[in-house]
Amino acid sequence: MNTTRLGSNGPKVSRLGLGCMGMRDGYGSPNEVDGLATIHRALDLGVNFIDTADIYGPHTNELLVGRAIRDRRSQVVLATKFGFVPDAGTSSNGLKIDGRPEYVIRACDASLRRLGVESIDLYYLHRVDPDVPVEETVGAMAQLVQAGKVRYLGLSEVGPLTLRRAHAVHPITALQSEYSLWTRDPEDSGTREVCHELGIALVAFSPLGRGFLTGAIRTPADFEKDDMRREQPRFQGDNFNRNLQLVDALKAFARARGCTPAQLALAWVLSRGDHVIPIPGTRHIRNLEDNLGALSVTLTPAELSSLEAIFPVDAISGARYREAMLALSAR
């Protein structure tokens, strides 16, 4: 397994990680047996960077990951997140974030119990609380490091200024943001460059466009009734159809290149720099193994230019989130 360092001072992690959200949340009916088997297979293949969050489920995803790694803790660089509070309706946009120092401590202790571990390797603030200065939240997170409950700190979906402010309080090891061929926000905002400058890993979630870039999704009817993609603008109406044309072009490129669309899309993310670490999520071993094939796909500068020409960022239709969720990102 190819490895890279998580930021300038973090542990070595597999070049591809595993996002576990979909095993219990977000993408239709979960299957715990498949989730456990996929995590175990990932560890067998050398994938050691495992990602979860307390809001996934909520809480049940951490319990699942905890069961999966119970006898293999030494093989895992374990990441989880806090900040979202599973109490919809208590804020004007239906999403509540709590970044108060006292909540930071409670949330971490709860995650430790659910995961069944003594310490969390990488602890992310899932989104910045608009009512709490990021310095206060990160200051409380730093106390967790001093207490030995957490090893390294991370942020999720913040902009360059917030990242610098947080990093001035305590070293930030990783920034997690959505990043793929059809979500270039970390480039447009300058965040990717700031990560490189400060020695912060950029952990790319949804590097396969929530599964869309695999080419397996052909119609919104492919989604189960409780699949969150049904509510996201990119997967609705004319947006879906226009984006599908881009994916079809991606599939043709992959056929000519001799790889799968997923491998091609992941190879593009991997090409963004050694500090960029994709964490594609899946519930199925077959998809996990296909994704790992991306590590054998090296794209030439000419191929990268051709790929970006057939999948230009200004051709992507629809926002990646609903308005309320977008408002919480890139602060």
Q: Which residues are catalytic?
A: 56
CA separation for the pair 209, 261 (Å, rounded): 12
CA separation for the pair 67, 292 (Å, rounded): 23
* CA distances from residue 199 to 8, 122, 283 in whole angstroms, order as listed: 5, 15, 32
Cβ neighbors of 24 (< 8 A, separation 6 or more) are 30, 32, 35, 56, 57, 60, 61, 64
Residue 46 near residue 77 (C-beta atoms within 8 A): no
The DSSP bridge partners found for residue 201 are 174
Residue 198 near residue 164 (C-beta atoms within 8 A): yes
CA separation for the pair 222, 152 (Å, rounded): 39
Residue 237 near residue 220 (C-beta atoms within 8 A): no
